[in-house]
Amino acid sequence: MPRTYTTPLVKITYTGFLQPLTTVEVSPDTLQFPTGADGAFQLPVVPGPGICGFNYGSSAGINEAAYMPKLLTLSVDANWCNSPGYGFSVVGASLTALDLPNMQIIAGQQNGGLTIFNCTALTTLNLPKLTALQSLNGSAGINVNGAAISELNLPALTHCVIFGMGAAINVANCPNLTTISAPNLTYATGLMGAISAVSGNGNIANVTLGTIGKTKMMAAVTLSMQKLTQASVDNTLALLASLDGNNGTILFGPSQSVNLSGGTSATPTSTADTANTSGVATAGGTATFTLAAAGFVPPLQAGDLVTIAGVTPGGYNGTFTVTSAADATHFAVANGTTGAITVQGTVKRTRNKTEAYYYKQLIAVRGATVTTN
């Protein structure tokens, strides 16, 4: 039967052995985090029960080492956790499940927010309401190093802010991990980046970091040597490209980097979509083309570049700017020759504003380092 350890307002339920345990202290019923210099990182008051740190299995001595592998499941029903050291830390346990069903904010002022280290049996990690992670001088906002989880789901997370040498989200030595999902991520920043998931992983395929229009700031993104899907690569590049300094966003540009290379990760969406075309030149130096096969998804837009090859007469080989696109299969290009086009040619789209390779180029032009397969 699970045992229960209850402090005022906080209920901790577990199986196995929960000692020795660094003191769990209950604090006042509300907590306000420090406000950033410009107010950007102000976090909301979280009412209700909370704890001043939870630290299991650090380095207290021989007796602790004997108990560390014997904690099997753990559930902590608290709204927040704030500590001058580690926020919430479990190290070296034989945990199979960690449940923080109502935890909204975790802050570790010196050693990181949520730390799960060397819990190699952990398959279930439940963080449904976690909204914010903060560390003033820690290694990571959330650090999962050595676990058997297949998914890292952070559905409510909006702020992950590290004012120190660390990544906002760090994942290492989790060979079963295939999915990282944080769709509501608004601010993710640390001196070592927004996310680092490299060593000892290798099977990460599905990644969602925020949403265009909602995400305002993202530091460096490192997801190298993985198995990222086409959607994960394309959507990550599109998200970072949307951080252009407008609409409340902080520019993702100089001194930043994104690395999605290595492993079997997909390349950004192709730069060489082609379709057979036929067209009729019109007076005034504009040629209108009709696609025989709708090879462009999404449709071309004014300002896109196309290469028109193999069309005669009149020198249509070359790169042209699209002046307009009536629909998915018709577009016009500026061109200095009039007269009828009598031979079908091939149109290759070399840039489109909605495609990942364009975003890759755009981010690089803004001064960031972009590395993909």
- Decide if 211 is inside a domain: yes
- Compute the distance between CA of residue 97 and CA of residue 359 in angstroms, rounded to an integer: 39
Over range 333-338, report the average pLDDT: 55
Task: Indicate whether 41 pLDDT > 60.
Answer: no
**3-state SS assignment for residue 196:** strand
* Predicted pLDDT at 90: 87
Task: Indicate whether 149 pLDDT > 70.
Answer: yes
- Decide if 269 is inside a domain: no
Over range 308-334, report the average pLDDT: 62
Over range 117-128, report the average pLDDT: 94
Q: Which of 19-28, 124-133, 339-348, 360-369 has the highest mean pLDDT?
A: 124-133
- Decide if 226 is inside a domain: yes
More confident residue, 163 or 216: 216
* Predicted pLDDT at 261: 96
- Same domain, yes or no: 66 and 204: yes
- Decide if 183 is inside a domain: yes
- Same domain, yes or no: 212 and 286: no
CB atoms within 10 A of CB 277: 24
- Same domain, yes or no: 154 and 232: yes
How large is the greatest C-alpha to C-alpha distance in the chain, in angstroms? 90
Task: Indicate whether 66 pLDDT > 60.
Answer: no
* Predicted pLDDT at 204: 97
The long-range contacts involving 245-253, CB below 8 angstroms and separated by at least 24 positions, are: 247/213, 248/216, 249/215, 249/216, 249/217, 250/216, 250/217, 251/366, 252/218, 252/363, 252/366, 252/368, 253/363, 253/366, 253/367, 253/368
Q: Fill in the DSSP letter of residue 29.
A: S
More confident residue, 44 or 218: 218
Which of 351, 297, 342, 295 is CA-nearest to residue 316?
342
In the chain, how many domains are there?
2
Structure tokens at 110: 């010196």
- Same domain, yes or no: 133 and 25: yes
**Over pLDDT 90: what percentage of the chain?**
40
* Predicted pLDDT at 162: 85
Residue 295: domain span: 274-351
Among 260, 288, 313, the domain boundary falls at: 260
Over range 187-216, report the average pLDDT: 93
More confident residue, 229 or 365: 229
Report the range of poorest mean pLDDT among 7-21, 23-37, 106-120: 23-37
- Compute the distance between CA of residue 325 and CA of residue 301 in angstroms, rounded to an integer: 6
- Decide if 362 is inside a domain: no
Among 233, 260, 287, the domain boundary falls at: 260
Q: Which of 163-167, 315-319, 364-368 has the highest mean pLDDT?
A: 364-368
- Same domain, yes or no: 195 and 334: no
* Predicted pLDDT at 282: 42
Convert the pLDDT of each residue in 69-90 to its tens digit. Answer: 678 898 989 898 888 777 898 8
Task: Indicate whether 26 pLDDT > 60.
Answer: no
**Over pLDDT 70: what percentage of the chain?**
67
Task: Indicate whether 336 pLDDT > 50.
Answer: no
* Predicted pLDDT at 329: 58
- Same domain, yes or no: 246 and 115: yes
- Same domain, yes or no: 338 and 198: no
- Decide if 187 is inside a domain: yes
Mean pLDDT, all residues of the chain: 78
- Same domain, yes or no: 186 and 117: yes
**3-state SS assignment for residue 146:** strand
- Same domain, yes or no: 13 and 94: yes
- Same domain, yes or no: 149 and 28: yes
For 279-316, the DSSP string reads EEEETTTEEEEEESS---SS---TT-EEEEES-TTTT-
CATH number at residue 286: 2.40.30.180
pLDDT category of residue 53 using cuts at 50, 70 and 90 = confident
Residue pointed to by tokens 């699970």: 2
* Predicted pLDDT at 19: 62
Among 260, 294, 310, the domain boundary falls at: 260
More confident residue, 366 or 243: 243
Report the range of poorest mean pLDDT among 137-141, 206-210, 228-232: 137-141
- Same domain, yes or no: 250 and 320: no
- Same domain, yes or no: 254 and 279: no
- Decide if 371 is inside a domain: no
- Decide if 113 is inside a domain: yes
